[in-house]
Amino acid sequence: MNIYRVGWLAKLLALITMGFLMLPLAAVIPVSFTGKRYLSMPEGDWSLRHYITLFHSSEWIGSIMNSAIVAISAALLATLLSTAFVIAVWYRNNKWTRWLIGLCMLPLIVPPVVSAMVLYFMTTNVSRIAPGLGYDSLPGVILAHTLLIVPFGVINMLVAISRVDRRIELAARNLGAGLWQTTWMVLLPNLRLSMLTTFLLCFILSWEEIAVTLFITSWEVITLPRQIWSGLRDNVDPVVGAISTLLIILTLTLLFLRMAIQGWRAAQRH
Amino acid sequence: MITRLPERWQYRLLLWPLPILLLLCYVIPFAGIVTWSVTLPELGVDNYARLANDPSIHAVLWRTLHLCAIVGVCALLLAFLMAYCWLYSSSRWQRWVELCIFLPFFISVLVRTFGWLVALRNNGLVNSWLQDLGLIDSPLALTRNTLGVIIAMVHFMVPFAFFPLLSSMRQIDDRVLLAARGLGASRLRVFISVFLPQTLPGLLGAFIMVFVFCLGFFIIPAILGGGSTLMAAEYVFLQMFQTYNWGIGAALCVLMLVLVSGLVWLLMRFSRVERLVG
C-alpha cells in the first residue's frame, strides 16, 4: 500500500480540509450551552437551559416521537422490501431484472424536489379516497420515506448478497429444499447482519429526511427535521443548537455501532 | 401455506412487491406531474412557453447551473485531495480521513446548515478568528448571500465526490507510478502525467454525480441564502406553497428531470456506474 507516498503539502492541505469538514459540527456544540435567550457563544455563562426547554416542550418531544415512528416503520419496510427483491434478483439475474434494479434506483437519481412533487401528488390523491392514509398523515409519510430510502436498501443488500457463496443455494436445492425453504433456512441466516446494517442506514436516512417531508405534511405530522426547519427559518431558535448536539451524539453512536457490527462480521469470517 | 404455492409464484412473491409499489406510488404519480404541467391553469403548453421566455425564470435557472458548477468543481478538488491522502497514507491517517468524511455524511443536512449559520455569522466563529488574527477589521458578510450557500453546499457534497473518486483511484496500479519515478520523473511530473490522467473518468463521473445532486437542492439555499439566491428547487417550493402556481412548478420539475436524465445518460456513457459505487 505504502510504496507511493503523499507529499507534505498535500498532507497540510488535507488537514485544512478535514478542519473544514468538521467546522460546522464543532461550531454547533458550544452554542447549545449558552446561557442567553438568543443564539450566541457562551462567555462564561454555560447553562443547560436550552436542553431543559427542549425536554419540556411538547412540540419538540412530539416531533421526536413522530420521527421515531416514521423512521422505524419506513426503515423496516424498506429493509424487508429490498431484501426480498434482492434475493429474487440473486436467484435469477437477467436483462429484465436489471431493468427492475434501474427502476428501484429512480428515487435516488431523481432530484429530491421532483420526488417531493411526485409524492405530494401521490399522497394528495390517496387522501381523496382515504384521508387518514395520504397527505399529512403518518402512513402517508411512512410510505413516502420508504420509497425514498429503498434505493439505498437495495444497493446495500446487493453488495451483501454478492458476497454469499452461490454454492450454498445449489447445495440446498440438491438436498431437496424448495425456493421458500432455501430462502428462509439458507439465505436469510446469511444475510441477517446485512439486514441490520441496511435497517440502520435506512433509519438514519428517514430520520433526517426533510425535502420531501416539507411537501407532504402541513401541521398534523411534524417530524423532527420539520420542527428544526421552522426553528431555523425566521429567528434562529437556540433550542436548535441543543437538539443538533444531541443528534450529532446519536449519529456518532449509530456510526460506531455500524462499524462494530461490520468489524464483528469481518472477524467472524476469518 | 406459501410452500404449497408453485415455485414460480413463490419467486414472483419475492420479486414483485417492490417494483409494483414503485410503479404505483412513484412512476404513475410522475405521469400526474406531467399532466399538471400541461393542464394547470388551463390546457396547453403555456407553462413551457413561460419556461422558455420568462427572464426571471431564466435568471433562476442560470443561477442554479452556475452555482452547481462552482460547487461541483470545489467539492471535487477537496474530495480528490482527501481520497489521494487516504490512498497513500498510513492506516492511522486513513481512519482520521474516514471519520471526517463519514461523520458529516451521516449528520442531518439541517444540523450542518445550522452549524454553518453559527460558524459564518457576523459574530460567528470564522469572523471572530479572522478578527483575532488581525486579518480583517470588520466582519465579512458570509451568510444570507451566495458565498455562504456555496461553502455549505461544497461541504455537503465532498463525501458524495469522495467515494467515486476513491474507487477510481484504487484501480490505479501503484507499480506504474513507481516505474515512472524509476525512469526519472519528478514527483510532480508523476502526479500530472501518470496519476491524474488515470483518474479522469472518475473525476468526470463524480462531477456529474455532484452536479445532479446539487440541482435538486433547496434546504441550504433556503436557509443560508436568505432569499438572495433563489435556486430552481426553492423556486418550485415557492410556486407550490406560496403562489399556488402548480402548473409552472410541475413544468420546471419535468425540465429538471429531463436535464438530469441527460446527465445520467452521459455518466453511463463515460464511466461504468458499477465502478463508481463499488
How much is the ipTM here?
A: 0.87
The answer to whether residue B27 neighbours chain A at the CB level (below 8 Å) is: yes
Q: Do A179 and B103 touch (CB under 8 A)?
A: no
Give B-chain residues touching A39 at CB under 8 angstroms.
Answer: 118
Boundaries of domain holding A162: 65-223
Identify the residue whose cell numbers are 462494530. A260
The region that residue B219 occupies, defined by phi over 0 for left and psi between -120 and 50 for alpha, beta otherwise, is alpha
- Domains held by chain B: number: 1
Which of B177, B187, B253 is facing A113, going by the closest CB pair? B253
The region that residue B192 occupies, defined by phi over 0 for left and psi between -120 and 50 for alpha, beta otherwise, is alpha
Write out pLDDT tens, residues B139-193: 888 888 889 999 999 999 999 999 989 988 888 888 888 888 889 888 888 888 8
The Cα–Cα gap between A205 and B108 comes to 9
Residue A79 lies in a domain: yes
Residue A109 lies in a domain: yes
> How confident is the prediction along chain A (270 residues), in pLDDT tens digits per residue?
345 677 788 889 999 999 999 999 998 998 889 888 888 777 777 888 899 989 999 999 999 999 999 999 999 999 999 999 999 999 988 888 889 999 999 999 899 999 999 999 999 999 999 888 889 999 999 999 999 999 999 999 999 999 888 898 889 988 988 888 889 888 999 999 899 989 988 998 999 999 999 999 988 899 999 999 998 887 788 899 999 999 999 888 877 887 787 778 778 776
Boundaries of domain holding B124: 18-277
Helix (H, G, I), strand (E, B) or coil at B186: coil
Residue A244 lies in a domain: no
Residue B153 lies in a domain: yes
Residue B104 lies in a domain: yes
Give A-chain residues touching B256 at CB under 8 angstroms.
Answer: 111, 113-114
Residue A28 lies in a domain: no
The Cα–Cα gap between A84 and A87 comes to 5
- Please answer whether residues B155 and A20 qualify as being in contact, where contact means their C-beta atoms are separated by less than 8 angstroms: yes
The Cα–Cα gap between A185 and A9 comes to 55
- Please answer whether residues B248 and B47 qualify as being in contact, where contact means their C-beta atoms are separated by less than 8 angstroms: yes
Q: Write phi, then psi, for A155 (nearest 5 degrees).
A: -60, -50
Identify the residue whose cell numbers are 421566455. B53
Helix (H, G, I), strand (E, B) or coil at B172: coil
Residue B8 lies in a domain: no
Q: Write phi, then psi, for A164 (nearest 5 degrees).
A: -75, 135
The Cα–Cα gap between A142 and A140 comes to 5
Residue B4 lies in a domain: no
Residue B229 lies in a domain: yes
Give B-chain residues touching A184 at CB under 8 angstroms.
Answer: none
Q: What is the CATH number of the domain that holds B124?
A: 1.10.3720.10
Q: How many CA atoms lie within 13 Å of B91's alpha carbon, on the beta-carbon side?
A: 1
- Domains held by chain A: number: 1
Q: At what angle do helices B91-106 and B55-87 cross, to 10 degrees?
A: 150
Q: Name residue A254's amino acid.
A: L
Residue A123 lies in a domain: yes
Residue A191 lies in a domain: yes
Identify the residue whose cell numbers are 480528490. B80
Residue B213 lies in a domain: yes
Q: What is the CATH number of the domain that holds A73?
A: 1.10.3720.10
Residue B5 lies in a domain: no
The Cα–Cα gap between B216 and B213 comes to 6
Residue B273 lies in a domain: yes
Q: Report the gap between the CA of B56 and the closest CA in chain A (Å).
A: 20
Which of B19, B108, B218 is facing A247, going by the closest CB pair? B108
The Cα–Cα gap between A179 and A171 comes to 12
Q: Which residues, in sequence order, are CB contacts of A120 under 8 Å at separation 6+? A: A135, A215, A216, B240
pTM: 0.89
Q: Where are the alpha helices (DSSP H) in A95-187?
A: 95-109, 112-129, 138-162, 167-174, 179-181
Residue A250 lies in a domain: no
